Structure 1
Amino acid sequence: MADTTQTEKEFILENPEQEVQILGAQDQFIAILEEGLSVTIRPFGNSIKVAGEPFQVQKAMAILKKMTQLVQQGIQLNSTDVVSAMKMADRGTLDYFLDLYTEILIKDAKGRAVRVKNYGQRQYVNAIKHNDVTFGVGPAGTGKTYLAVVMAIASLKRGDVEKIILTRPAVEAGESLGFLPGDLKDKVDPYLRPIYDALYAILGAEHTNRLMERGVIEIAPLAYMRGRTLDGAFVILDEAQNTTNAQMKMFLTRLGFGSKMIVNGDVTQIDLPSNSRSGLVQAMGILKDVNHIEFVQFTADDVVRHPVVAAIINAYEGTEKH
């Protein structure tokens, strides 16, 4: 008896010249779709044949259509766009996929447009725009630090703020700062690497270093914030799960006029001594009903790295719950 659970459909590329942009270099986008949707995709000329379970084939066809529409708008696709499309198709929200690309947040150091990559990031950016203090809580790889830096630089370029302050608590993840060579800056800089990476990606290393020399961008351990009032500043606290309650209160009460604050952290990655409670976890309870403060929760579905990273996060979370 024939297996009726399999079907094959054909997607025709209207413009064969766009084939590489839609399939990816060495067909890498096809490989992502095949693995993520459990379908078989065979491109040949301007024809793309998709075989598998009917529902999954339908999803693949819908995703290919959306990808084609983006390419026709002159948008260059990358792997994270394909992953985002698959996740939105799974959630039944693929109709809103093109909406993610309507707004350019900033152009990076290479002139490429920076946009949100999924619905979680869109919520986060909207929260930053409309609140004085925004908490981004969720796993690594969701773009929290990168987008916070993007929004800070965009704000600086518009003249909304006069300076950017980036900070994080100097808590070692099972390592000891004391044994590292050099002065405090040399010891703390490795812990601030993700922030530097984001700045360099958007402004370039040379421009970033110039702004740091002029004091327009300041990168410092959290302890340096004590006793200051931060007026006209865009302030980002990263790795906030490693603050104590006292540190979190100290940081949040630095907020000055014309300032914005972003607090990012992952409550599953707390490196504090076991007798210390995380200031981020406590803030989520204490401040949940305070006006002009918004909490945005990211999940593994919002991870914009390799698809396997989201699967790894879910596997660990599942094990920890048991």
Structure 2
Amino acid sequence: MSRRARELHENQRPSKKKIKSKFMEERDLPPLLPLSDRQDDYLKALRTSQQVIVMGPAGTGKTHIAGTYAADQLRLRRVEKIYVTRPNVPGGRSLGFFPGTMDEKIAPWVVPLMETIKDRIGAGALEVALKNGDIEIVPFEVMRGRTFKNCIVILDEAQNTLAAEIKMFLTRIGENCQVIINGDISQSDLKETSGLRSVLHMIKSQFLPVPIIEFTVDDIVRSGICEMWVKAFDAAKI
């Protein structure tokens, strides 16, 4: 292929910059609106605080709001990157070690958040963002020594972190970085004390400036069936 032909070929190919600019385009998306008073508190905390901890039972919108909010911040280029992480602790009998690369191994653990982001920006935009490194899934095993800056970091299922793990996570936070920590103490799968429980105690006892949003069963918006079962298990003390 001649040099002129190569130049024409390269000019016809969409550059990484062009792909990213398409991802950055404004889309006609509905605003992220609260479905309950507690969700309204959650959104206000996200808009005003560098760190937010949100807790409560399933179906209250903890993960949905975190993922949608982060996707909007990235889409509007208010942050350069989204980091997603979650402790790889199974919620039941283990299926054994997942095969594949490190990214492939951790991917099943963050499906809920990634599905939320995909719903907000579309499958194509999510694929581009992952390829360009605009969204990165970070396993706890490779987090030590890193610094998160100019980004949003979401720690999902934080009740399954050990104290040493959540300490390591929180000390990775750099400049212009917003942290969203989601968890439900009642659903911890650890035999040891949850690191999230330790962090909550420190915030309350040392009066640290970190808002804590606590949903209750009355804030469940997923479905009536979800609310029924959460209340049933609570009543049964399970």
Shorter chain as normaliser: what TM range? Answer: 0.7 to 0.9
Answer yes or no: is 1:214 the counterpart of 2:123.
no
Distance 1:223 1:255, change over 3 A: same
Q: Tell me what 1:168 maps to.
A: 86
Show the 5 A alignment for 1:273-292: 274=191, 276-288=192-204, 289-292=206-209
Q: Distance between the aligned counterparts of 1:175 and 1:213, measured in 2? A: 33
Instruction: Give the alignment's TM-score, normalised by structure 1.
Output: 0.62
- Number of equivalences: 212
Q: Which residue, out of 217, 221, 224, partners 1:300?
A: 217
Deviation at 1:290, TM superposition (A): 4.1
Q: Distance between the aligned counterparts of 2:88 and 2:28, measured in 1? A: 32
Give identity over the alignment, percent: 37
Show the 5 A alignment for 1:128-143: 128-143=46-61
CA radius of gyration, larger in: 1
Deviation at 1:112, TM superposition (A): 4.0
Q: Distance between the aligned counterparts of 1:152 and 1:216, measured in 2? A: 11
Answer yes or no: is 1:192 the counterpart of 2:141.
no
Q: Is the 8 Å Cα contact of residues 132 and 259 (structure 1) preserved in structure 2?
A: yes
Deviation at 1:177, TM superposition (A): 5.4
Q: Distance between the aligned counterparts of 1:285 and 1:115, measured in 2? A: 30
Deviation at 1:109, TM superposition (A): 7.7
Q: Tell me what 1:183 maps to.
A: 101
Deviation at 1:198, TM superposition (A): 0.4
Distance 1:185 1:176, change over 3 A: farther
Instruction: Give the alignment's TM-score, normalised by structure 2.
Output: 0.82
Show the 5 A alignment for 1:97-136: 111-136=29-54
Q: Distance between the aligned counterparts of 1:150 and 1:170, measured in 2? A: 22
Answer yes or no: is 1:271 the counterpart of 2:200.
no
Answer yes or no: is 1:159 the counterpart of 2:77.
yes
Distance 1:132 1:292, change over 3 A: farther
Task: Give secondary structure in 1 for the equivalent of 2:146.
Answer: coil
Distance 1:190 1:293, change over 3 A: same
Distance 1:268 1:231, change over 3 A: same
Q: Distance between the aligned counterparts of 2:65 and 2:122, measured in 1? A: 16
Structure 1, unmatched stretches of 5+, are 1-107
Structure 2, unmatched stretches of 5+, are 1-25
Deviation at 1:186, TM superposition (A): 2.8
Deviations 1:265-298 (A, max 9, x none): 01111112x2x11001111111224443111001
Q: Distance between the aligned counterparts of 2:105 and 2:30, measured in 1? A: 33
Deviations 1:190-211 (A, max 9, x none): 2211011101100111101101
